[in-house]
Structure 1
Amino acid sequence: MKAILRPGRRTSRHPVDEVLPPGKLAVYGFQHVLAFYAGAVIVPILLANSIGLSTEQLVHLINADLFTCGIASIIQSVGFWKVGVRLPLLQGVTFTAVSPMIAIGLAAGGGTDGLLVIYGAVIVAGLVTFFLAPFFSRLIRFFPPVVTGSVITIIGLALLPVAAADATGGAGPTSDPTNGKNLAYALGTLALIVLIQRVFKGFMATVAVLVGLVAGTLVAWAFGDAHFGAVGGSDWVGVTTPFHFGWPQFSIAAIISMVVVMLITAVETTGDVFATGEIVEKRIGREDVARALRADGLATTIGGTFNSFPYTCFAENVGLVRLTRVKSRWVVAAAGAIMILLGLIPKAGAIVAGIPHPVLGGAALAMFATVAVVGFQTLAKVDFHDHRNVVIVATSVGLAMYVTAQPQVAQAVPGWAEIIFGSGITLGSLTAILLNIVFHHLGKDFGPAVAGQPGDSIRLDQVNTMSREEFVETFAGLFQGPRWMVERAWEMRPFTDTHALRRSFQEALFSGSHEEQRQLIESYPQLGSQFVADGLSGEASLRDQSARGLTFLNEPDRDELAAITEAYRERFGFPLVISVRDADSFDRIIEQGRERLDNCENQEHAAALLEIAKIAGYRFDDFLSDANPIHSARTRWSSTR
């Protein structure tokens, strides 16, 4: 009996779920740890110095922080049940919590007494976050691209000063912007990362940051600027135990303050999740946000138990994912395992801590800037013809940069508001969310102006309620002759924004039959004809052709263009259609016409449709420009700078 062979079912695995070989997992994971390390330990250092903890207690906090960071990162990237977003997101202590925790600790008397009250608030806030996660995720409709793009951009831009501070030797008394060595180490590390990514491909390009950090550190060590003396004085093994400093104490005021911190952190986490989704090309939904926030809540509760602090997704490593293009979440899981190991082996942590600040700052400049680039990419989806979106982005980014550049501003507001004004990321993110609600969710949503003149403009909500006849009359000028394209575009209502309205005309154009499309092509006037110059083919044609001077050609140029257009019509039976606004010169129009004479009729039919689509796109921009003169003037001014 012959066996019946059936083709096996092919399974496609998303790059996020790809399990890399152990060697690559270890190398890529270690790269994440190096990029993350300085940010991971800075919070316990700041807190310990502020509330009066001893050096021995600080060492324990750092070990506990690394240990819990590892656990939190594995929970977020690997996930279980409904916990963990299962993306390459590394977890770290949120900077948003620093000021409130210091205030809580000092109010409780400082030292370990203050620390115990902090841990009580952290544990409760983590539990609250865990149980509120599904409710917060339902607010995802308040995070359109104008909000997420603003938040992601703000995260990247607000982190750049942190990288710059490291590049100058570190924040505080160690900073020395005039030190030539610091500049050389930072720029040298950055240049090496860029060079590796330019010259190499494959594995070498993906570990560019790791190579830059190692090479920069070795050079600094050779010149006596990297010190590893702390390695000899560190223990081989250091285990953090639950409630090492004593049982947590619970204060209502401290708990409320920390819950507010976690709600603000939830906004940042949401932005990081959307940013990572953009990078790894995975759609983010409501349940993904809920999973990420549950992981934050659980990790924060574990942090309070194991002598650490509130956790969130670390934007620093979002930038690394974008820079290296390594999308596997198991790389972050490997980084988590390495951090757990570092938390248990203080000597290993001391080695990593020996990386000089300027070297780390040089690498961070590249990583943080790539986060901002992801924000730019998200904002590219935003309809900026809607002036409300311009206001949302400009105001939120402006306020974020204001408090980032002038952090002392936080001292000018009441104590309860310091948590908001103390962070550019927090202030900018909340501003983007609130303004989006005010402009797009409160009151009637009129939408952007898409046609008409100021004072008598037609807005998107009016377009969506137009009759077929009104719609056709308004937008018929996008095309010459037949109106079937506009009639079919009307059937695609409602339009969510100007991008959707623009796409409807394109889809309608290419959905026509061959005969309909041929009739449309034949309706376009001859290039450079007196008929167009006299305005007899319509204002739109006059504007199109005058953009490249076709309506006032000298006699030799007019004769040359006429010869080509006549030869073209004789060859194909329909006029030569070119979107002249795409051509940078008259000579390019002539060249394109001659080249197309050698094509077959079917190819030219398709080419003519593409040119008509381009012409309609420019005419649509004219509609928007006439209806939004302020936006158009701003766009033209910025494009000339």
Structure 2
Amino acid sequence: MASAPMPQLRKTSDPNGVDAVLPIARMLPLAVQHVMVMYMGAITVPLVIGRVLALPAAQTATLIQADLLTSGIATLLQTIGTRWLGARLPLMQGVSFATVSCVIGIASSPTFAHSQQNEGLRTVYGAVIVAGLVAILAAPLGRYVMKLFPPIVVGTSLAIMGLSLLPVAVNEIAAGTGVQAGRNMLVAMSVFACAIALSIAGRGVFKNLAVIIGVGLGLVVAFLAGQLSPHLSGMPPLLAPVAPFPLGWPIFHLMPSLSMIVIVAITWVESVGDAVVVGEMTNRPATPERVSRLLRADGVATLLGGIMGSFPYTAFSENVALLSITGVRSRWIVALAGGILFVLGLSPFLATAVAALPPAVAGGAGLMIFGTLMMVGIQMLASLGLEPGNRPFIVASVSIVLAMAIVLKPDFFCFMPEWTQSVLQSPVVTGCLSAIALNIILSFNKKTDDTESGKPNHPAQHN
């Protein structure tokens, strides 16, 4: 099916237009805000993998740099796109958290890691490349994936995403003890309070930039509290691009490749869910054709990730919440943010400098962002008429309970087979899959009951 022609760019002051091009003086700070919102999430995956696998600091830095570089390219593919590639929606792309368990399992397995020549990670990259190729070929299935995401599933998924991400922000704030804990709380609450105040009372650019202005205030407070001490000694060079296959040529094995294909298929849950929400925000619906282009771009980004030394990519929900907070939905602002990520990926100096931000600053911003994401999901669910015992109530409550059980105890499903753990240790993926399955089962039961009672079947209008 031929895609729609490239929309014409419109220089306009209306920030709600998905194709709006604003003055660079307005676009740049908004783009930086998108980068800062997703940056900690973007670098968390390579940091965790590097720490668990006990990689040398230089190799971990390479993973981070490759991640930022590929995140930038993936975001540009998704926002600008071509006739067959990319959703052309304001979607920031990053490495999916769902990949962590799978990557660590493959890289640390004695079967694939025989010596000190990075066989484990090279096997991971071989699996990522295969999964990316399969995702590209399977992208036309997007028309069928769309049917799995009615508003009841999307609303439940958004609420789960916000709830499951809140502990990340809380842990960044609650680090340390005694005086250190007090300073962390002061820094985080300065960010949080400033962002809330500007969201309520701010006007124009101050309202749109509530989060980044709060981060700026948090940095000032962190400096005064002695938590931020800039120094240039020992910093890496300003420019040192990552070369393809930084740890050596990839190694291909069947089972790791199959495992990674399953993980990539699971990440489609978040990508498609975000596309549906953003499509509603921007009046550019996530049609089956658009979803196919979205998934194809994810596949290309994943393939590129395997080549550059990174992992599978998906849309970042944190930035979907930011679109709701600011009301600015131009995809060109997000494309500019992708360009900034690309530049950060070229420069180990800049990437290291941004990574040095005090965790409490990111935690304070996270409280605002993740809380908003949760409330957007609850708002969608409330519009469906939640009543004890009805289908939206059951789907949302059961799925959120399962997701929060994993947040509170990550090995909640430890009795399940090992091959399922990469799914069952992710609250977002487990909760989303639960919502999809329950919605299908309960819809089928409702149709069966209506048929047996002689009532005509009418398609649900909302859920």
* Both structures adopt the same fold (TM-score exceeding 0.5): yes
Cα shift at 1:381: 3.6
Query: Is the deviation greater in 314-323 or in 108-117?
Result: 108-117
Q: Secondary structure at the match of 2:226?
A: coil
Distance 1:280 1:271 in 2: 14
Is 1:391 the counterpart of 2:389? The answer is: no
Equivalent position of 2:26 in the other structure = 24
Distance 1:324 1:312 in 2: 22
Is 1:34 the counterpart of 2:36? The answer is: yes
Distance 2:333 2:23 in 1: 10
Q: Deviations over 1:307-363 (max 9, x none)?
A: 111100011111111111110011111011111111112222222122211111111
Cα shift at 1:229: 3.8
Q: Residues 82 and 441 from structure 1, CA distance in 2 versus in 1: closer, same or farther, beyond 3 angstroms?
A: farther
Equivalent position of 1:496 in the other structure = 459
Q: Secondary structure at the match of 1:355?
A: coil
Distance 1:25 1:461 in 2: 58
CA-atom RMSD in angstroms: 2.5
What TM-score do you get using the length of structure 1 for normalisation? 0.66
Is 1:411 the counterpart of 2:441? The answer is: no
Equivalent position of 2:174 in the other structure = 168
Cα shift at 1:87: 1.0
Q: Deviations over 1:462-484 (max 9, x none)?
A: 554xxxxxxxxxxxxxxxxxxxx
Is 1:322 the counterpart of 2:324? The answer is: yes
Is the Cα–Cα contact under 8 Å of residues 117 and 251 in structure 1 kept in the other structure? yes
Distance 2:452 2:42 in 1: 48
Is 1:148 the counterpart of 2:154? The answer is: yes
The amino acid of 1:414's aligned partner reads: P
2:195 to 182, 193, 196: 193
Q: Residues 211 and 416 from structure 1, CA distance in 2 versus in 1: closer, same or farther, beyond 3 angstroms?
A: same
The amino acid of 2:128's aligned partner reads: V
Report how many residues are paired. 447
1:61 to 17, 40, 63: 63
The amino acid of 2:144's aligned partner reads: R
Q: Secondary structure at the match of 1:408?
A: coil
Equivalent position of 2:3 in the other structure = none
Is the Cα–Cα contact under 8 Å of residues 121 and 255 in structure 1 kept in the other structure? yes
1:234 to 236, 239, 261: 236
Q: Secondary structure at the match of 1:243?
A: coil
2:124 to 107, 118, 121: 118
Cα shift at 1:98: 0.4
Equivalent position of 2:296 in the other structure = 294
Equivalent position of 1:424 in the other structure = 427
Unaligned runs of at least 5 residues, structure 2: 1-9
For 1:471-482, list aligned pairs within 5 A: none
1:438 to 441, 445, 456: 441
The amino acid of 1:20's aligned partner reads: L
1:129 to 110, 128, 135: 135
Equivalent position of 2:336 in the other structure = 334
Q: Residues 462 and 376 from structure 1, CA distance in 2 versus in 1: closer, same or farther, beyond 3 angstroms?
A: farther
Is the Cα–Cα contact under 8 Å of residues 325 and 372 in structure 2 kept in the other structure? yes
Distance 1:38 1:199 in 2: 28
Equivalent position of 1:85 in the other structure = 87
Q: Residues 15 and 498 from structure 1, CA distance in 2 versus in 1: closer, same or farther, beyond 3 angstroms?
A: closer
Query: Is the deviation greater in 106-115 or in 84-93?
Result: 106-115
Equivalent position of 1:282 in the other structure = 284
The amino acid of 2:374's aligned partner reads: A
Is 1:95 the counterpart of 2:97? The answer is: yes
Cα shift at 1:139: 3.0
The amino acid of 1:131's aligned partner reads: L
Q: Secondary structure at the match of 1:179?
A: helix
Cα shift at 1:135: 1.1
Distance 1:274 1:139 in 2: 11
Q: Residues 405 and 96 from structure 1, CA distance in 2 versus in 1: closer, same or farther, beyond 3 angstroms?
A: same
Q: Residues 57 and 261 from structure 1, CA distance in 2 versus in 1: closer, same or farther, beyond 3 angstroms?
A: same
Is 1:303 the counterpart of 2:305? The answer is: yes
Q: Which has the higher contact order (CA 8 A, sep 6+)?
A: 2
Distance 1:329 1:421 in 2: 33
The amino acid of 1:393's aligned partner reads: A
Query: Is the deviation greater in 99-108 or in 380-389?
Result: 380-389
Distance 2:453 2:288 in 1: 27
Distance 2:338 2:223 in 1: 27
Cα shift at 1:114: 0.9
Cα shift at 1:445: 4.0
Q: Deviations over 1:114-156 (max 9, x none)?
A: 1100100001111111211211432322221111111121111
Equivalent position of 2:370 in the other structure = 368
Cα shift at 1:380: 3.0
Say which one has the larger Rg: 1
Q: Secondary structure at the match of 1:441?
A: helix
The amino acid of 2:262's aligned partner reads: V
Distance 2:178 2:417 in 1: 33
Is the Cα–Cα contact under 8 Å of residues 151 and 462 in structure 2 kept in the other structure? no
Q: Residues 48 and 383 from structure 1, CA distance in 2 versus in 1: closer, same or farther, beyond 3 angstroms?
A: same
Q: Residues 67 and 149 from structure 1, CA distance in 2 versus in 1: closer, same or farther, beyond 3 angstroms?
A: same
The amino acid of 1:377's aligned partner reads: Q
Is the Cα–Cα contact under 8 Å of residues 244 and 307 in structure 1 kept in the other structure? yes
Q: Secondary structure at the match of 1:312?
A: strand
Q: Residues 460 and 360 from structure 1, CA distance in 2 versus in 1: closer, same or farther, beyond 3 angstroms?
A: farther
Unaligned runs of at least 5 residues, structure 1: 1-9, 448-458, 465-493, 501-641
Is the Cα–Cα contact under 8 Å of residues 190 and 221 in structure 2 kept in the other structure? no
Q: Residues 230 and 63 from structure 1, CA distance in 2 versus in 1: closer, same or farther, beyond 3 angstroms?
A: farther
Distance 1:179 1:52 in 2: 28
Q: Secondary structure at the match of 2:411?
A: helix
Q: Secondary structure at the match of 1:16?
A: coil
For 1:464-475, list aligned pairs within 5 A: 464=456
Is the Cα–Cα contact under 8 Å of residues 227 and 354 in structure 1 kept in the other structure? no
Equivalent position of 2:222 in the other structure = 220
Is the Cα–Cα contact under 8 Å of residues 228 and 350 in structure 1 kept in the other structure? no
Distance 2:119 2:442 in 1: 46
Is the Cα–Cα contact under 8 Å of residues 145 and 381 in structure 1 kept in the other structure? no
Q: Secondary structure at the match of 1:149?
A: helix
The amino acid of 1:106's aligned partner reads: S
Is the Cα–Cα contact under 8 Å of residues 122 and 310 in structure 1 kept in the other structure? yes
Distance 1:498 1:391 in 2: 18
Q: Deviations over 1:425-464 (max 9, x none)?
A: 01111111111121113684446xxxxxxxxxxx997554
Is 1:401 the counterpart of 2:364? The answer is: no
The amino acid of 2:228's aligned partner reads: A
The amino acid of 1:127's aligned partner reads: L
Is the Cα–Cα contact under 8 Å of residues 168 and 176 in structure 1 kept in the other structure? no
Distance 1:178 1:218 in 2: 16
What's the % identity of the aligned pairs?
Answer: 37
The amino acid of 2:281's aligned partner reads: I
Equivalent position of 1:352 in the other structure = 354
Equivalent position of 2:275 in the other structure = 273
The amino acid of 2:35's aligned partner reads: V
What TM-score do you get using the length of structure 2 for normalisation? 0.90
Is the Cα–Cα contact under 8 Å of residues 11 and 22 in structure 2 kept in the other structure? no
Is the Cα–Cα contact under 8 Å of residues 158 and 400 in structure 1 kept in the other structure? yes
